[in-house]
A = this chain, B = another copy of it.
Amino acid sequence: MSRQQHTTTNLAVIGQRARVAARQLARASTGAKNGALLNIAAALKEREAEVLAANAQDYPDAKAAGLSPAWLDRLLLNPERLAGMADDVRNIAALPDPIGEEYDVRTLPNGLRLGRRRVPLGVIGAIYESRPNVTVDIASLCLKSGNAVILRGGSEALRSNTALARLVRDAIAAAGLPGDAVQFVEDTDRALVGQMLKMRDAIDLLIPRGGPDLIRRVAQEATMPVVTGGIGVCHAFVDQSAALQMAVDIANNSKVQRPTVCNALDTLLVHAKAAPTHLPEIAKAWLRAGVEIHADRRAMTILGPMEEPRIKPTTDDDWGREFLALVAAVKIVDSLDEAIAHIERYGSGHTEVIITEDYSNALRFLSDVDSAVVMVNASTRFTDGAEFGLGAEVAISTNKMHARGPMGLRELTSYKWTVMGAGQVRS
């Protein structure tokens, strides 16, 4: 049998098994699902040696393959990180079960009792890179929300992911639920990604987690609904009335607290009347943290005299660019309208913040900026499922359909309408 045939067969079977498991899982009790989650958490301690041994095989290969220190760090597992993963799983077990929740319940004039009942979506597909904790994370969120999942991880973490997926499957089976609720594609053939993207009947929702290239490919090629997200070109607007220290704190925290993630700040827009006082202070904080500043012509007239080599003129492609690094673009604008127009043109619809003491401008920004998350006087870094109290997140969606922003358990569900009658007919 050729390799191509082998992998084709494989994915079709995986898809069928997922569908069967999804039907069983949709009817599983909250107790059984939580039991499986607690089993996973326990196994992450009990089977620590097995997982670390697998990771110890992945790590040197990845290092030899020349992965960056940042990637290597994400790949690395150790007892503390496994304990952290177990804590996350226990947190998911502690969250309320979204499935079965009945809402919008009302009695119609004809006596019919109508409601919406939350149900799982079915089968989730996840294609992700590097970090092995994503395997446990997504599996746990799908399990709790009653969805089966087909996981396809990066080749550099193959052995770590395989070990984690086995552990998860065993833990689920030990709780009396179908182990096939979580299936990991143990094959690094790149053709498999293309095949997964065509499995419209087997996969109800596809979640890509990784770099922009992966996310763009999935958005373009997938035949099923996809969470478009993970790309955040985030803007902060320092309004004329912004409190100085608050502007410095928020700009600094948004940019430097974790620069490699999608909710980090990319472009700072500063009102021309605040720029002379606020911009130099923000720049000083940034420079202390090692940020490289790309300043537009007008910002340069203010920052230029600092004679810092890390302050450079902007280029055209700085606008709308997700830096994912200690780099920020700065532009002076003359009004809130100009700031909003810039965001509308260059933003990715992820997270935007206004820093202001002006009541009307705050409300206008919240109203007129069309992004997944719009903020007043807070760090862009708060756009996060855990920070928002969702417990965890599978992704941050920049779609407007289905779910927007951080996606937790509820965002992995659909609903059905239930109608309880006493023989009513239409006249």
Determine if A370 and B26 form an interchain contact, defined as CB atoms under 8 angstroms apart: yes
The proximity string for A residues 147-164 relative to B, scoring 1 for CB distances below 8 Å and 0 otherwise, is: 000000000000000000
Which of B112, B114, B204, B404 lies in contact with A415, CB distance below 8 A?
B404
Supply 6 A–B pairs (Cβ within 8 Å), ascending by A.
Answer: A26-B370, A106-B389, A108-B389, A114-B388, A122-B400, A254-B425
Q: Chain B residues near A106 (CB, 8 Å)?
A: 389
* Residues A176-231 near B (CB distance < 8 A): 204-205, 225
Q: Chain B residues near A108 (CB, 8 Å)?
A: 387-389
Which one of A86-94, A318-326, A377-385 is at the B interface? A377-385
Determine if A378 and B421 form an interchain contact, defined as CB atoms under 8 angstroms apart: yes
* Residues A344-377 near B (CB distance < 8 A): 344, 362, 366-368, 370-377
Enumerate chain A interface residues (CB-CB to B < 8 A): 23, 26-27, 106, 108, 112, 114, 117, 119, 121-122, 204-205, 225, 243, 246, 249-250, 252-254, 257, 344, 362, 366-368, 370-379, 381-383, 387-389, 400-402, 404-406, 414-426
Q: How far is the CA of A415 from the CA of B423 in the complex (A)?
A: 38
Q: How far is the CA of A27 from the CA of B340 in the complex (A)?
A: 14
Determine if A421 and B376 form an interchain contact, defined as CB atoms under 8 angstroms apart: yes
Q: Chain B residues near A378 (CB, 8 Å)?
A: 112, 419-421, 423-425
Q: Chain B residues near A417 (CB, 8 Å)?
A: 372-374, 383, 388, 404-406
Which of B376, B406, B422, B426 lies in contact with A253, CB distance below 8 A?
B426
Count chain B CB atoms within 10 A of each CB in A252, A388, A421, A425 and give the residue with the most: A425
Which of B368, B404, B418 lies in contact with A374, CB distance below 8 A?
B418
Interface of A is mostly: mixed
Determine if B423 and A243 form an interchain contact, defined as CB atoms under 8 angstroms apart: yes
Which of B23, B249, B405 lies in contact with A423, CB distance below 8 A?
B249
Q: Chain B residues near A372 (CB, 8 Å)?
A: 416-417
Determine if B243 and A418 form an interchain contact, defined as CB atoms under 8 angstroms apart: no
Given the contacts A257-B426, A401-B121, A417-B404, A27 and B374 also touching, CB distance less than 8 Å: no
Count chain B CB atoms within 10 A of each CB in A257, A371, A400 and give the residue with the most: A400
Determine if B425 and A379 form an interchain contact, defined as CB atoms under 8 angstroms apart: yes
Given the contacts A400-B204, A423-B249, A425-B257, A418 and B366 also touching, CB distance less than 8 Å: yes
Which of B367, B401, B425 lies in contact with A414, CB distance below 8 A?
B401
A247 → chain B closest CB, angstroms: 9
Determine if A414 and B400 form an interchain contact, defined as CB atoms under 8 angstroms apart: yes
For A245, the closest partner residue in chain B by CB is: B423
Q: Chain B residues near A119 (CB, 8 Å)?
A: 370, 400
Q: How far is the CA of A168 from the CA of B404 in the complex (A)?
A: 32
For A421, the closest partner residue in chain B by CB is: B378
Q: How far is the CA of A389 from the CA of B250 in the complex (A)?
A: 45
A222 → chain B closest CB, angstroms: 11
Q: Chain B residues near A415 (CB, 8 Å)?
A: 404
Determine if A381 and B426 form an interchain contact, defined as CB atoms under 8 angstroms apart: yes
A384 → chain B closest CB, angstroms: 8
Q: Chain B residues near A27 (CB, 8 Å)?
A: 367-368
Q: How far is the CA of A390 from the CA of B72 in the complex (A)?
A: 53
Q: How far is the CA of A424 from the CA of B381 in the complex (A)?
A: 10
Q: Chain B residues near A400 (CB, 8 Å)?
A: 119, 121-122, 204, 414
Which of B121, B375, B418, B426 lies in contact with A419, CB distance below 8 A?
B375
Which of B370, B377, B404 lies in contact with A421, CB distance below 8 A?
B377
